[in-house]
Amino acid sequence: MCGILAVLGCSDDSQAKRVRVLELSRRLKHRGPDWSGLYQHGDFYLAHQRLAIIDPASGDQPLFNEDKRIVVTVNGEIYNHEQLRKSLPNHKFRTGSDCDVIAHLYEEHGENFVDMLDGMFSFVLLDTRDNSFIVARDAIGITSLYIGWGLDGSVWISSELKGLHDDCEHFEVFPPGHLYSSKNGGLRRWYNPPWFSEAIPSTPYEPLVLRRAFENAVIKRLMTDVPFGVLLSGGLDSSLVAAITARYLAGTKAAKQWGAQLHSFCVGLEGSPDLKAAKEVSDYLGTVHHEFHFTVQDGIDAIEDVIHHVETYDVTTIRASTPMFLMSRKIKSLGVKMVISGEGSDEIFGGYLYFHKAPNKEEFHRETCRKIKALHQYDCLRANKATSAWGVEARVPFLDKEFINVAMSIDPESKMIKLGEGRIEKWILRRAFDDEEHPYLPKHILYRQKEQFSDGVGYSWIDGLKAHAELHVTDKMMLNAEHIFPHNTPTTKEAYYYRTIFERSFPQNSASLTVPGGPSVACSTAKAIEWDASWSENLDPSGRAAVGVHNSAYEKLLPSVANGNLAPTMIDDVPRMVGIPAKELTIQS
């Protein structure tokens, strides 16, 4: 994952300004430790910090068209770049980089080419023929991007806040699925899928169609010229990613280059649920498994670095980012530069525990739409920045544009959780990969319950964070919280502690406004409370607050006849969950 920085029309083409842009760009070097570049055209500056994944030898940026009058700095991966090259037979490409197609597409199609890109990306394109420029961000916001404005009329673009927050009068999150055009003077949405209007879809659920769409999403993300692996927590989403990847690798070019065995990575406290579950999945799939341990103190010691890199004070995000941040450092030490991860499934399929309470399919669908639209502020931000902090790129197949279109066109009635029929959360995804002849995963893994990532790495992690905050934030400080932090006032000592650290790195008002408002609660959102008022008592972001939902729900299911093994069976093509008592269930993310 690279880092981009652009200063556009700043009315200053001096050497001092160039030096300042270089200085700010170096703040993003962790995102791209392999090479750096800066292009200057008058008072326009395009800087790049490169993480070389595709064509490491010649793909340095900024990139150009044939006559070098169109210049691009890009962060991301364009998975369909080979097909796009074929559609541009009259163009000559200087590099093998997947991002090399962008300048040529603009030359051929003007500003209306962005929807042709299949991938994750943020880019700035400068047309030196008229000094116009465009900026675009991928559909869901997998790559991070910010936009700022200077008093001199300049526009600033940066992959992270730290690249622009000291030099801009005002800055904010660049919205996903949007394009900024200097010719039109503003933002417009380029990503307009049918589901975005929240109209209720009606396509019947076809398991094989969903399976093939997700397999394609994973396989296209195996495009790499460097060593890679998968993040494996042992839960449904990461296990499916690992299973598909392991199947595909045999006999492929990637397998011959990096070895036939897939490498998998997991992090947790000693004895945590994730470590145990991930080892079980790894043994089943035959991956080369790397298990990383950390202590609560290790995590607490890293909190300031995590907040500096992830650039948020959101409680849930920080809790989950810290183990991922520590794991990414270990992954990079092994020489791995790209990993595939499982973010996005819960938002698409209604996997969060409060979806048990959805009153009807219309409410269910609209809530999944809302969750997907907010991903760039939470899970995408975590996955992108926690890994980029150490020069590792995270790819997320569940957020593939084509896969989302398939999954979000399915009649939400099929996604509804109906325990009486054995339909637990994300049932349609589980059933799509429930292959009796050639199993992707063991049954008890395929139908394993959900747990928050921050819980799965070890329950004492969250307890330790709360205890640490209790020591450093007094009751008196909390009494004055609304005066110190009038926007997004922290309501717990843990939230107050994170906020004070954030303010030290990013004291500007614009910075605090980039973090979403309201209580950051994964299992008890406003919608959950609306569906069931009892959820208002579960205000902690930890998934443990919702264990009662599962306990009461799964106790209704038939007891296991398999001597304590959780094993769904298929009767008349309708799966029926059978399992051990709910209090003994292992629940995973």
Model pLDDT for residues 181-197, shown as the tens digit of each residue: 999 888 999 999 999 98
Structure confidence at residue 226 as a pLDDT band (50, 70, 90): very high
Does residue 438 register a pLDDT over 50?
A: yes
pTM of the predicted structure, to 2 decimals: 0.91
Mean pLDDT calculated for residue range 298-318: 97
Residue 106 has pLDDT above 90, yes or no: yes
Label residue 291 by pLDDT band (50, 70, 90): very high
pLDDT over threshold 90, residue 427 = yes
pLDDT exceeds 60 at position 252: yes
Give CA–CA dist 266/289, Å, rounded.
Answer: 8
Which residues have a Cβ under 8 Å from the Cβ of 588 and sit 6 or more positions away? 233, 234, 235, 236, 273, 274, 277, 448, 449, 450, 451, 456
Q: What is the number of other CB atoms lying within 10 angstroms of the CB of residue 202?
A: 10
pLDDT at 586: 30
Mean pLDDT in residue range 209-219: 98
Q: Which residue numbers belong to the known binding site for ATP?
A: 231, 267, 341-342
Q: In terms of Cα–Cα distance, which of 121, 153, 321, 341 is closest to 235? A: 341
Instruction: Give the model confidence (pLDDT) of 491-501 as tens digits.
Output: 999 999 999 99
Q: CA–CA separation, 196 vs 415, rounded Å?
A: 18
527-534 mean pLDDT: 80
In this predicted structure, which of 72-76, 260-264, 300-304, 582-586 has the lowest mean pLDDT? 582-586
pLDDT of residue 566: 34
Per-residue pLDDT for 486 more than 50? yes
pLDDT at 580 over 70: no
Q: Please name every residue paired with 173 in a beta bridge, in sequence order, or none if there are none.
A: 146
pLDDT at site 78: 96
Amino acid residing at 339: V
Q: Say whether pLDDT at 582 is over 50.
A: no
* Contact yes or no for 115/84 (Cβ under 8 A): no
> What does the longest C-alpha to C-alpha distance in the chain come to?
77
The 3-state DSSP class for residue 230 equals: strand
Annotated binding-site residues read 98, 231, 267, 341-342
The yes-or-no verdict on residue 513 having pLDDT over 70 is yes
Mean model confidence pLDDT for the chain: 88
For the question of residue 2 being annotated catalytic, the response is yes
Q: Give the per-residue pLDDT at 539.
A: 57
- What is the per-residue DSSP string for 262-330? PEEEEEESTT-HHHHHHHHHHHHHT-EEEEEE--HHHHHHHHHHHHHHH----HHHHHHHHHHHHHHHH
- Residue 274 and residue 268 in contact, taking contact as beta carbons nearer than 8 Å: yes
CA dist 460 and 462 (Å) reads 6
Task: Say what the pLDDT of residue 66 is.
Answer: 92
pLDDT digits 0-9 by tens, 27-83: 999 999 999 999 999 999 999 999 999 888 887 899 999 999 999 999 999 999 999
Which domains, and CATH codes, for the chain? 3-192 (3.60.20.10), 197-462+513-584 (3.40.50.620)
Mapping DSSP to helix (H, G, I), strand (E, B) and coil, where does residue 8 land? strand
What are the strands, taking DSSP E only, across 304-409? Answer: 338-340, 393-395
Annotated binding-site positions for L-glutamine:
98
**Which value, to the nearest 10 degrees, does the dihedral of the CA atoms of residues 513, 363, 236, 306 take?**
10
- Average pLDDT of 367-379? 96
571 pLDDT higher than 50: no
State both tokens at 289: 């498994």
Lowest mean pLDDT among 176-180, 380-384, 443-447: 443-447
Q: Is the pLDDT of residue 255 over 80?
A: no
What is the distance between the alpha carbons of residues 112 and 279, in angstroms, rounded to a whole number? 47
